[in-house]
Amino acid sequence: MSERTAICPGSYDPVTNGHLDIIGRTSRVFDRVIVAVVGQGIRKSTTMFTADERRDFLVDATGGLANVEIEIFTNLLVDFARERRATAIVKGLRAISDFEYELEMNQLNRKLAPELESVYFFASPDYSFLRSTGVKEMATFGGDVSDLVPAPVAEALHRRARR
Amino acid sequence: MSERTAICPGSYDPVTNGHLDIIGRTSRVFDRVIVAVVGQGIRKSTTMFTADERRDFLVDATGGLANVEIEIFTNLLVDFARERRATAIVKGLRAISDFEYELEMNQLNRKLAPELESVYFFASPDYSFLRSTGVKEMATFGGDVSDLVPAPVAEALHRRARR
Amino acid sequence: MSERTAICPGSYDPVTNGHLDIIGRTSRVFDRVIVAVVGQGIRKSTTMFTADERRDFLVDATGGLANVEIEIFTNLLVDFARERRATAIVKGLRAISDFEYELEMNQLNRKLAPELESVYFFASPDYSFLRSTGVKEMATFGGDVSDLVPAPVAEALHRRARR
Amino acid sequence: MSERTAICPGSYDPVTNGHLDIIGRTSRVFDRVIVAVVGQGIRKSTTMFTADERRDFLVDATGGLANVEIEIFTNLLVDFARERRATAIVKGLRAISDFEYELEMNQLNRKLAPELESVYFFASPDYSFLRSTGVKEMATFGGDVSDLVPAPVAEALHRRARR
Amino acid sequence: MSERTAICPGSYDPVTNGHLDIIGRTSRVFDRVIVAVVGQGIRKSTTMFTADERRDFLVDATGGLANVEIEIFTNLLVDFARERRATAIVKGLRAISDFEYELEMNQLNRKLAPELESVYFFASPDYSFLRSTGVKEMATFGGDVSDLVPAPVAEALHRRARR
Amino acid sequence: MSERTAICPGSYDPVTNGHLDIIGRTSRVFDRVIVAVVGQGIRKSTTMFTADERRDFLVDATGGLANVEIEIFTNLLVDFARERRATAIVKGLRAISDFEYELEMNQLNRKLAPELESVYFFASPDYSFLRSTGVKEMATFGGDVSDLVPAPVAEALHRRARR
């Protein structure tokens, strides 16, 4: 038995309880989990939080899981996964639109790195409606997001909304 | 690190190259794979091959994979998975219709066995069109299925078609 | 304000907690609800329970809702809805496959009865995985369905499974 | 029987004949309809017409329906619906992509306001292809949109296209 | 310029106005159209009308189109298309479920006959809800199908329903 | 037999091997193919390459196909198709999201030009994951796109990425 490492990539802008559910479930199926935060990309200004802020929210929220690490990556995902000797990339699927997007990414990644597997979890029904974008919109309109994201994220969103 | 066991359930009536692709990829991600063949069910007469025949085709076709075993199961899948102390149930997803069916099964299984995870692979593009049903229809019309299923299965299908 | 009558049609073979959720929500939006049980149809032998049994389960399970009635219908749904002077036909949508089927039925019904509206509820996430067919299969394999259907239905299913 | 109020929310930038079809059908199923126009939002500059212009087009186009009112809202939809003591939020569904988006919104709104129902109409086949975005693009290229939107909207679009 | 032959395959049990719309549009895009009626297949007893009856309805209904022929075929579709030196197989797409099924058939046929193209028309909105199965069910319940199928088909369906 | 002209419209920003596959297959089904490059549109600055650059890549890549021409168009597609006396507009379908978008466009175009047909090819499995957007992102991150686009396009993308 060799160590099984999974990569959970995403923007995490910001992390939601839905992301944490997938990360937690991955940590029970694999030996080691690297949550890979997309750093500065080609569409430079589109995130609400900086890569460092997004990573720090994740570090804080996954503190109780011994086999989970958080890293920022700035290269191609398949190159990052190879450097970390990952067994698999792990993604959550909520809806048909996710399915199609992920299928496309999957086939592109297989072309680039045939030896790297991608595996998928279905989002829990409790979180299948949850997108970072929706959370940010709700917070902007003064909605209560404390059930949807970790407490420090909720506070940060409300501070920004008040501006 | 504990041993990671995956269950690959299915009717396998008969096994196709698409099934074998998923089984092979599962055997690289997990330590041990149990291919679980649906035995006698409620819809008794609908399979073309008996459970024993379907298992034997699988035993033959997966002979080269050291960490793969084949078993027939006749109880509820989640009960079988618990008995085998499985880490996860593994399924392949080819299309949206698979996605919806599997999502439904997933939520039903979570209700019955919340501690059991299900993970999904996307079918390889080369096999995304491949269903056992389609293979059986083609063989019935005299089509050549030798690229789609293992050789012994192709022979058995052609023997039945000639009757 | 005229009285608003909704028709909730279905096979209800047997009624599940998901059906009851839609019926209950309909009873809060409309003044009067007629749950319309499909009687003897063209595919005669496919139901597990007779129309009378299916109606009786519904009568029992909706006893607490003052504005809900149960009826068996044996003609075209749009003709039944017209006879009852219904404002709308009400259906639940769980998944994309439901959406497509219902869209097709909707357009067919509009052709037959342009003045009759159909409105849709989304299934609650707790019940989106629930189909009568799945419940029947689970019961056949000895699975516990007491969280999924009303108690008398669960008992009837288990009695049949033991045969 | 209490009065049944429905809320029809949207950007209506600008109102199309497809929107008017849904509003008209809602006015036949419910006692009172409030068409709720999204006001200044977080994505401030993306509408072609101001909230006042969009409301005025709607007031003009729904003039013949006695039980329909138009209002601009600037808070969370569920808060607006509560203030108006709405029985239900009403949306039109045209396509699978609508279905998924609305399902997500539905589940988010249920979390925020469990007592508030959302009900859906299927778009009429004659309007299922119609989006405000498509109409604006066509008008920009000089296409004739007079069959797709009310006459005053068509005129306004053509005036803008000539600039 | 060589002659362009299209094959329109189907069960046509029975032909509907939706089928005729696709056949008519194909006859305007291609030089010659062969409507290929599925003959005796593996699921022997499932059609309501015999292959001869289904062909005769088509011959009658397409009488006005000079470049359309009707044939029954009993071999694999790709083999039939090759024998007729077809340029393309033509299918209509109504819904997502059609899309997935046709995509699967397409990929299977490409594997069997890479040189043979398949092209698709979208069903007209007026007919997108129309399936032979739905028409047969409606007729069984005494519904009026005279807007949905050619007159001789409607008569035949009503004769069978009266039995 | 009259000459059959097909229009293959698109942004082609830049052309991919997936586009070329559809263009090549169209050139075998129709007598003449006009690849119609979207020129300056309403969303002016969103293309990476100018209309002239995009056309030149296409001219270069389709050089071996005698019956294919490349043109830039700046009016409504249906008007352009009419001017060229086209028999049909041809599009490729890769995924469900394509299907829905194209269905909408199809119905809009039918409203504008009922005599003009649109026909669809399914993308080859080898290219079903390929979008110009994905190729541009990969090139930006330094990924190797030489299997996905013609050589001159790959070079141009890498030159831009190095900036």
Q: What is the pLDDT of residues C91-101, one digit of tens each?
A: 999 877 788 88
Looking up tokens 């504005």, which residue turns up? C67
Mean pLDDT of F119-124: 94
Query: Under an 8 A CB cutoff, do C147 and B106 touch?
Result: no
Q: Which amino acid is at F19?
A: H
Query: Under an 8 A CB cutoff, do F141 and A96 touch?
Result: no
pLDDT band at C134 (very low <50, low <70, confident <90, very high): confident
**Comparison of pLDDT for E104 and D10, the residue scoring more:** D10
Nearest-CB residue to E104 (from B134, B141, B142): B134
Those chains having 3 or more beta-carbon pairs within 8 angstroms of chain B are: A, C, E, F
Q: What was the pLDDT predicted at D46?
A: 80
What's the CA gap between F131 and F15, in Å, rounded? 9
What's the CA gap between F111 and F104, in Å, rounded? 11
Q: What was the pLDDT predicted at C137?
A: 85
Retrieve residue D73's tokens: 């809202």
Query: Under an 8 A CB cutoff, do B141 and E76 touch?
Result: yes
| Closest-CA distance of chain F to residue A15, Å | 23
| B131 at interface of E, judged by CB pairs closer than 8 A | yes
Q: Which of D134, D100, E150, A122 is nearest to F76 (CA)?
A: D134
pLDDT in tens, D52-95: 999 999 999 999 999 999 999 999 999 999 999 999 999 999 87
Query: Under an 8 A CB cutoff, do A141 and D106 touch?
Result: no
Is the pLDDT score of B42 beyond 70? Answer: no
Contacts of F17 (CB under 8 A, 6+ apart): F127, F130, F147, F148, F149, F150
Question: Which run of H or E residues covers position D3?
Answer: none
What is the per-residue DSSP string for D81-101?
HHHTT-SEEEEEE-SHHHHHH
Where chain D has pLDDT below 50, the residues are none
| B140 at interface of E, judged by CB pairs closer than 8 A | yes
* Crossing angle for the helix pair B132-140 and B151-162, to the nearest 10 degrees: 50
Contacts of D38 (CB under 8 A, 6+ apart): D9, D10, D11, D12, D51, D72, D73
| Closest-CA distance of chain A to residue D104, Å | 4
Mutate to test the interface with C, among B109, B112, B118 (most CBs of C within 10 A): B112
Mean pLDDT of F116-129: 91
What is the reported pTM?
0.87
Contacts of F64 (CB under 8 A, 6+ apart): none
Q: How many CB pairs under 8 A join D and F?
A: 35
Q: What was the pLDDT predicted at A108?
A: 87
> For a pLDDT cut of 90, what percent of chain A falls above it?
65
pLDDT band at C45 (very low <50, low <70, confident <90, very high): low
Query: Under an 8 A CB cutoff, do C108 and E128 touch?
Result: no
Is the pLDDT score of B66 beyond 70? Answer: yes
Mean pLDDT for chain F? 91
Predicted ipTM of the assembly = 0.90
Nearest CA in chain E to F21: E117
Range picked from B8-17, B153-162, C97-106, D102-111 for highest mean pLDDT: B8-17
Mean pLDDT of E103-111: 88
Nearest CA in chain A to B120: A120
What's the CA gap between D94 and D17, in Å, rounded? 13
Query: Under an 8 A CB cutoff, do F121 and E120 touch?
Result: yes
Mutate to test the interface with A, among F141, F144, F146 (most CBs of A within 10 A): F141
Spell out which residues of chain D touch residue A130, defining contact as CB-CB under 8 Å.
108
**How many residues in total does chain B contain?**
163
Q: Which CATH fold topology does D5-128 show?
A: Rossmann fold (3.40.50)
Q: What was the pLDDT predicted at F2?
A: 75
Q: What was the pLDDT predicted at D96?
A: 76
Retrieve residue F16's tokens: 């991919």
Spell out which residues of chain A touch residue F134, defining contact as CB-CB under 8 Å.
104, 108
What is the separation, in whole angstroms, between the first and last Cα of chain A?
53
What's the CA gap between B8 and B113, in Å, rounded? 17
What's the CA gap between E112 and E121, in Å, rounded? 23
What's the CA gap between C38 and C11, in Å, rounded? 5
Range with the poorest average pLDDT among B105-109, E45-49, F69-73: E45-49
Q: What was the pLDDT predicted at D81?
A: 97
pLDDT in tens, A56-85: 999 999 999 999 999 999 989 999 999 999
Spell out which residues of chain A touch residue F98, defining contact as CB-CB under 8 Å.
none
Retrieve residue E155's tokens: 């008569």
Is the pLDDT score of F41 beyond 60? Answer: no
What's the CA gap between B130 and B149, in Å, rounded? 10
Query: Under an 8 A CB cutoff, do B128 and F125 touch?
Result: yes
Nearest-CB residue to C100 (from E97, E134, E140): E97
**How many residues in total does chain C contain?**
163
What's the CA gap between B101 and A119, in Å, rounded? 18
Contacts of D83 (CB under 8 A, 6+ apart): none
Nearest-CB residue to A142 (from D76, D100, D108): D76
What's the CA gap between B93 and A95, in Å, rounded? 13
Q: What was the pLDDT predicted at E101?
A: 86
Q: What was the pLDDT predicted at D44?
A: 53
What's the CA gap between B63 and A121, in Å, rounded? 29
Nearest CA in chain E to D123: E125
Q: What was the pLDDT predicted at E84?
A: 97
Is the pLDDT score of B86 beyond 70? Answer: yes
Chain A, window 55-114: residues with a beta carbon less than 8 angstroms from a chain B beta carbon: 87-88, 93, 96, 99-100, 102-103, 106-107, 110
Number of H helices, E strands in chain A: 6, 5
Phi, psi of D33 (to 5 degrees): -125, 130
pLDDT in tens, F141-160: 888 899 999 999 999 999 98
Mean pLDDT for chain C? 91
Is F16 exposed, middle or buried (CB count within 10 Å of its CB: 0-12, 13-18, 19+)?
buried
Is the pLDDT score of E155 beyond 90? Answer: yes
What is the separation, in whole angstroms, between the first and last Cα of chain E?
53
Query: Under an 8 A CB cutoff, do F107 and D128 touch?
Result: yes
| C124 at interface of B, judged by CB pairs closer than 8 A | no
Query: Under an 8 A CB cutoff, do E104 and B129 touch?
Result: yes
Query: Under an 8 A CB cutoff, do E112 and B144 touch?
Result: yes
Query: Under an 8 A CB cutoff, do C107 and D96 touch?
Result: no
What is the separation, in whole angstroms, between the first and last Cα of chain F?
53
List b or e across E62-89, with b for residues whose CB sees 16 or more CB atoms inside 10 angstroms. Answer: beebebbebebbeebbbebbeebebbbb
Mean pLDDT for chain B? 91
Mean pLDDT of E97-115: 87
pLDDT band at B41 (very low <50, low <70, confident <90, very high): low
**Comparison of pLDDT for A97 and E28, the residue scoring more:** E28
Q: Which of E73, E1, E74 is nearest to E34 (CA)?
A: E73
| Closest-CA distance of chain B to residue C117, Å | 28
pLDDT band at C107 (very low <50, low <70, confident <90, very high): confident
Q: What was the pLDDT predicted at C128?
A: 84
| C163 at interface of B, judged by CB pairs closer than 8 A | no
pLDDT band at E44 (very low <50, low <70, confident <90, very high): low
Range picked from A40-49, C96-105, D92-101, F78-87 for highest mean pLDDT: F78-87
Q: What was the pLDDT predicted at A146?
A: 92
What's the CA gap between E83 and D37, in Å, rounded? 60
pLDDT band at A43 (very low <50, low <70, confident <90, very high): low
Q: What was the pLDDT predicted at D95?
A: 79
Is the pLDDT score of E45 beyond 60? Answer: no
